[in-house]
Amino acid sequence: MKSFTNLFGCFKRNPRQEAAAPADQSTAGASSMGAVASGMPPPKRPAPTDSPGPPIENNVDAPGTPLKDALKQANSAKVAVFFTGTEEEKQIHEIQAILNALKDDPNVENPVEVPEIQKIQVSGFSKKAIQHLTLHNSWPLIYIKGNAVGGLKELQTLKQDYLKEWLRDHTYDLIVIGGGSGGLAAAKEAARLGKKVACLDFVKPSPIGTTWGLGGTCVNVGCIPKKLMHQASLLGHSIHDAQKFGWKLPEGKVEHKWGHLRDSVQDHIASLNWGYRVQLREKTVTYINSYGEFTGPFEISATNKKKKVEKITADRFLIATGLRPKYPDIPGVKEYTITSDDLFQLPYPPGKTLCVGASYVSLECAGFLHGMGFDVTVIVRSILLRGFDQDMAERIRKHMIAYGMKFEAGVPTRIEQIEEKTDEKPGKYRVYWPKKNEETGEMQDVSEEYNTILMAIGREAVTDDVGLTTIGVERAKNKKVIGRREQSTTIPWVYAIGDVLEGTPELTPVAIQAGRVLMRRIFDGANELTEYDQIPTTVFTPLEYGCCGLSEEDAFMKYGKDNIIIYHNVFNPLEYTISERMDKDHCYLKLICLRNEEEKVVGFHILTPNAGEITQGFGIALKLAAKKADFDRLIGIHPTVAESFTTLTLEKKDGDEELQASGC
């Protein structure tokens, strides 16, 4: 009889791979529109998992403190140094000498106390594990107040006044700047571990004055209201489908009431806002509704809405301020347009709407607005869903066009107001953009009138007003914090999670996981990292797109086209047969596999109703390195669309004719 490992090969777990982002300070690492489930393009830099996994410690005859105990000691000590042998004693003496030089004259008020170094000897295996955990290769490795600093060289680069201030006592163990999903998760976890925590949250109004409560982008202006409005759109279709299934509807036109939906959504969000405040109080986290800015290496100036400033200090800081929408530099854009920050509180029905941008935010909003009966056009500069699988993006475009939406190619150059908006009705605006004349081939200005213009061209980490430059936190060109894991590369007591951390997916669950794991690592000495690879995601377009792993383009680039085999098919959901939904012609799925690794599945993609629910379940298969054969021997649930993944036999090849779906 085969062993369990042989029988269930896909469940053989490899050693854990290495782990694991502000205009306003409430987004706290939450992603923008599709935070809870929507997908984001992969990070521009290689994912953290490209490096080898952590070594497994060998405790047989290994000298030194066991890894688990060593990490806990380093986290609880004021100053600790990991070392492996006596040959490193000289460097440890040099480290102690640098610290001793910080001592104040005994007559100085509140002199700094320089502690003796706690020396922690570890084995060679533990050394590799600690270096993997911290991404610090310097050795001996210094920890100050539980923060990995690096070696002697890194200690010498720190400003002496910064180092001296670091050794002093501060009001809080941790200050979190940003009260969104990631920031709240981190604050509560740190408090659970017995730390004194403050969480600052303040929303700067959008250009048209929209603001919101505690909870960040996801809860207030992202995935939660988006998913509810997506559901409202789907229910509109279900009403029409019901007649095909024998339901008799009242006579007259079925209409959607925007105001009723908006109020219901905002009531639900308000209940969540209140719940977060209660949770912080129960966890003994100090909630401060003020805008935080560094005015010293360990000092935050918190300014409330009355412009009153309070100064607070901490040993560590977590930046979890998230993103806000970008605006193009064209006349009238901030006066006459809205973003996803404003849409869900819009006091009037949006009317004829132009969605600007090819992002998932743009497509999701366009989809649910059209589903509620509004005339919607999407204008894009080039491709849809940059960073996602482009075969799937094109299928989404074709479906949305068949669904009744219009697509224009171009970039708006100016916006003019024709009628001013009121609290009861939208305004009217003329939007201009260059378009190629199909007869002459020349570019010419065209224009169209719209009631609402939604800007969705991307989001940016507005970290300029947080004072990061003041203390020397290194940022990328996109203003995100450059990190060694989640730790700033230049200021070791500053951390970042979620959308403001360079190179990580902009997703709410990522920020939540990263926040909790980071707190356990820096406060409890946990040998634990957030895994940023193979994250299942979904774009909530009218026909939902779920994916996990690599796109075709990325798979070809990483492994070579000849080493990739793609299994695909189309399908017809049973629910769409009687109702004769047009969507049935657009449902599609595929698995991207490696030929030379027993057809290991490296990409999972599906365009279907309820894609989020399906993708979340199958995501575990990719995390456990499933092969195509594992999908084949899984018995499907009938009749479901997900069972199609258990019967894939068609290989996708260049030049193949379009597939045609059939029933069961």
Q: Which residues pair with 593 in a beta bridge?
A: 565, 601
User: If phi over 0 gives left and psi between -120 and 50 gives alpha, with beta otherwise, what is residue 536?
Assistant: beta
The residue type at 27: T
Q: Residue 589 in contact with residue 607, Cβ under 8 Å?
A: yes
| Residue 180 per-residue DSSP state | S
Residue for token pair 């100053």: 79
Total count of residues recorded for the chain: 664
Q: Which fold has domain 536-645?
A: Enolase-like; domain 1 (3.30.390)
Helices 67-76 and 124-134: crossing angle in degrees, nearest 10, is 50
Instruction: In whole angstroms, give the CA distance from residue 451 to residue 102.
Output: 65
What is residue 217's predicted lDDT score, i.e. its pLDDT? 96
State how far the Cα of 603 lies from the Cα of 591, in Å rounded to an integer: 6
The C-alpha atoms of residue 290 and residue 598 are separated, in whole angstroms, by 55
Containing 391, the helix (H) or strand (E) segment is helix 390-403
Residue partners of 609: CB distance under 8 A and separation at least 6: 234, 543, 544, 573, 575, 583, 587, 641
Residue 514 DSSP class: H
- Residue of 198, 177, 194 lying closest to 280 (CA atoms): 198
What residue ranges do the domains of the chain occupy?
A: 67-167, 174-324+460-524, 340-457, 536-645
Is the sign of the CA dihedral 591, 595, 600, 603 positive or negative? negative
Q: Give the phi and the psi of residue 128 in degrees, each rounded to 5.
A: -60, -40
- Single out the residue of 148, 213, 218 nearest to residue 182, CA to CA: 218
Of 586, 600, 655, the residue nearest 629 (C-alpha): 600
What residues in the chain have per-residue pLDDT under 70?
1-62, 660-664
- Candidates 1.20.1440.60, 1.20.1050.10, 2.30.40.10, 3.50.50.60; correct CATH number of 174-324+460-524? 3.50.50.60
Q: Cα–Cα distance between 592 and 601 in angstroms, integer?
A: 6
Assess whether the region 340-457 and the region 536-645 belong to the same CATH fold: no
**Nearest-CA neighbor of 519 among 283, 273, 269?**
283
Q: Among all chains, which residue has been given the structure tokens 């977060």? A: 276
Helix (H, G, I), strand (E, B) or coil at 132: helix
| Fold topology of 340-457 | FAD/NAD(P)-binding domain (3.50.50)
- At 36 the pLDDT is 38
User: Which DSSP category does 494 fall into?
Assistant: E
pLDDT value at position 9? 40
pLDDT, residue 169, reads 93
User: What kind of fold does domain 67-167 have according to CATH?
Assistant: Glutaredoxin (3.40.30)
**Per-residue pLDDT, 54:** 59
In angstroms, the CA 534 to CA 505 distance is: 11
Strand order in the sheet with 588-594: 537-539, 544-549, 600-608, 588-594, 564-570
Phi and psi of 288, rounded to 5°?
A: -125, 110
Query: Hey, which residues are catalytic here?
Result: 638
How crowded is residue 515: how many other Cβ atoms within 10 Å of its Cβ? 32
Q: Helices 508-524 & 67-76, crossing angle to 10 degrees?
A: 90
3-state secondary structure of 175: strand
Helix axes 181-192, 258-282, angle to 10 degrees: 20
- 303's enclosing H/E stretch is strand 299-303
| Closest alpha carbon to 39 in 535, 582, 431, 525 | 535
Residue type at position 396: I
SS3 565: strand
| 464 DSSP assignment | G
Asked whether 396 and 373 are in contact (CB, 8 A), the reply is no
- What pLDDT shows up at residue 103? 85
Q: What span, in angstroms and rounded, lies between the C-alpha atoms of 170 and 177?
A: 17
